[in-house]
Amino acid sequence: MQKQFSIQPQDADVSPEMLEKINRYSRKTLTASEVFVFSAVLCDNEIDRDFECFTPDALKTLAPLFEGKTVIQNHSMQTDDQSARTFYTEVLTDPSRTTATGEAYTYLKAYCYMPRIPKNETLIAEINAGIKKEVSVGCAVAEHKCSICGSVEEVSPCKHQRGKRYGGTVCHYTLEKPTDAYEWSFVAVPAQRNAGVTKGFADADALCKQFGETNAEQITVSREEAAGFAELVSSLKSAAALGEEYTALLREKAVCALLGRLPELQSEQAESLCAPLKPAELKALCAALSGDAAQKSAHLPQLYTAKARETDVPADNNAFKF
Ligand SMILES: [Zn+2]
C-alpha cells in the first residue's frame, strides 16, 4: 500500500539524545556538525484521497516500524539515492485540529538524518528553504475496515464503496493493524496538481489497480509512472503474443488428435469443435486423446461411447467399444 502526503520538512536542532539515536544506525560515529536532521509528518488519521485513514492506534503501531528505514528519492532502489534515514518516530495529537470524522488530529512524525556531504546539499538546501515536498509512504496493514458497517475487507468484504454516500454518510475505510513499513521517499510533485487524484504508485501494477478502483473523475500520473505503465503494457503485449502462439499450437494438436481418434470427422468439423476451447480445455482434450489417457478412459460416460460406432475406431481403442 502506498500513500502520498504533502509535507513541509523542517530542520531540527541536533540534541545529544538525537545524536545517540542517530549513531545507532550510523557505521561511523557522527558528530552534531556532520549531520543534518529534519522532521516530516509521514501519515495521519485524516481521510485521504483514497477515502482511507489510519486509526490513532494504527499510527502508534506503525511508528516504530519506520525507525531505521531509509528515505529514497523517487522510489529508486539504487543505494546512491538513499539520502536519509529515519532514526526516531513519534505519534502526536493536535487537539486544536479535528479530522473530518471529528477525531483529534493525530499524526506520525519521523525524524531523519542525512550526513552533510556534497551529494545531499540540494535536498538540505530545499528543506532549509521550506520547499514543500510530497512524500510517498509505503506500508502494509492487515485490516481495512468499512466505516459504514464495520466489516473488515480481508475477512468479510461488504458492498460499501469508498467515497460513496450511504444515508448521508460518505464511506471510508480505516487502516488497522499495520504489519510493516517500508522505505519512504520524496517524490516529484506533478505539475497539474489539481487535475485529479494524485497518488504515488509503487509500481505499474498498483497503478492498474487504481484505474479499476478509483472513484475520481480524473487521475493524474507522473511521467515516471506513465513510463512504468507503458513498460508494463509492452511486456504484457509480448506475453500475450506468446500465449496466442501457444494456444494456436495447442489447438492444432487437439485437432490432429481428434481426427486421429475419430477419422470419420471432417477436418473443418474438428477445427470448429476446438475453436471455442480455452487453452486449459485444449490441454485436457489433448491429454485425454493421447494414448495413455484414452486407454484409461474406459469409464467415459455412456453417451460418449454410445455415439461412437465400433467401425470408426481403431481396434485397440477399448474406450469406444461396448
Ligand atoms: Zn461496509
Strand partners of residue 136: 4, 185
> What Cα–Cα distance (Å) separates residue 232 from each residue in 115, 206, 212, 225, 235?
36, 11, 16, 11, 5
Domain final residue pick, 129, 155, 189: 189
What's the pLDDT at 190? 40
CA of 208 from ligand 1 middle (Å) equals 24
> Does some domain include residue 293?
yes
> Does some domain include residue 218?
no
CA of 54 from ligand 1 middle (Å) equals 17
CA of 123 from ligand 1 middle (Å) equals 43
Residues 180 and 241 in one domain: no
Residues spanned by the domain of 308? 236-320
Residues 172 and 253 in one domain: no
CA of 283 from ligand 1 middle (Å) equals 42
With beta carbons less than 8 A apart as the criterion, state whether 258 and 289 touch: yes
H-helix or E-strand spanning residue 60: helix 56-66
Residues 121 and 47 in one domain: yes
What's the pLDDT at 298? 46
> Does some domain include residue 205?
no
CA of 150 from ligand 1 middle (Å) equals 6
Domain final residue pick, 120, 154, 189: 189
The three-class DSSP label of residue 54 is: strand
CA of 158 from ligand 1 middle (Å) equals 5
Our count of domains for the chain comes to: 2
Bridge-based pairing of strands 35-44 and 104-115 is antiparallel
> What Cα–Cα distance (Å) separates residue 292 from each residue in 119, 288, 297, 316, 322?
67, 8, 9, 12, 19
CA of 140 from ligand 1 middle (Å) equals 21
CA of 199 from ligand 1 middle (Å) equals 24
H-helix or E-strand spanning residue 88: strand 82-98
CA of 311 from ligand 1 middle (Å) equals 63
What's the pLDDT at 108? 93
What's the pLDDT at 232? 78
CA of 147 from ligand 1 middle (Å) equals 7
Residues 16 and 71 in one domain: yes
What's the pLDDT at 297? 46
What's the pLDDT at 157? 94
> Does some domain include residue 215?
no
Mean pLDDT over all residues of the chain?
Answer: 79
With beta carbons less than 8 A apart as the criterion, state whether 83 and 73 touch: yes
Residues 256 and 185 in one domain: no
Residues 164 and 311 in one domain: no
CA of 174 from ligand 1 middle (Å) equals 11
Residues 17 and 143 in one domain: yes
What's the pLDDT at 200? 43
> Does some domain include residue 207?
no
Query: What is the chain's pLDDT, residue by residue, as a tens digit (322 residues)?
Result: 777 766 666 667 788 999 999 999 888 899 988 999 888 888 999 998 889 999 999 999 999 999 999 887 654 445 555 678 999 999 999 999 999 889 999 999 999 998 898 888 887 887 777 776 777 888 999 999 999 999 999 999 999 999 999 998 999 999 999 999 988 887 755 433 332 233 344 566 666 766 776 666 666 777 777 777 787 787 788 778 888 888 888 999 999 999 988 889 998 999 999 999 988 899 899 888 886 544 544 444 445 443 444 444 444 544 444 4
| pTM across the whole model | 0.56
CA of 301 from ligand 1 middle (Å) equals 47
> Does some domain include residue 203?
no
CA of 213 from ligand 1 middle (Å) equals 16
Residues 275 and 179 in one domain: no
With beta carbons less than 8 A apart as the criterion, state whether 264 and 312 touch: yes
> Does some domain include residue 16?
yes
CA of 44 from ligand 1 middle (Å) equals 22
Phi, psi of 321 (to 5 degrees): -95, 145
End-to-end CA distance of the chain: 61
> Does some domain include residue 33?
yes
Residues 183 and 241 in one domain: no
The string of DSSP codes covering 169-228 is EE--EEEEEEEEEEEEEEEPPPS-TTSSEE---SSHHHHHHHHHH---S-EE--HHHHHH
CA of 161 from ligand 1 middle (Å) equals 8
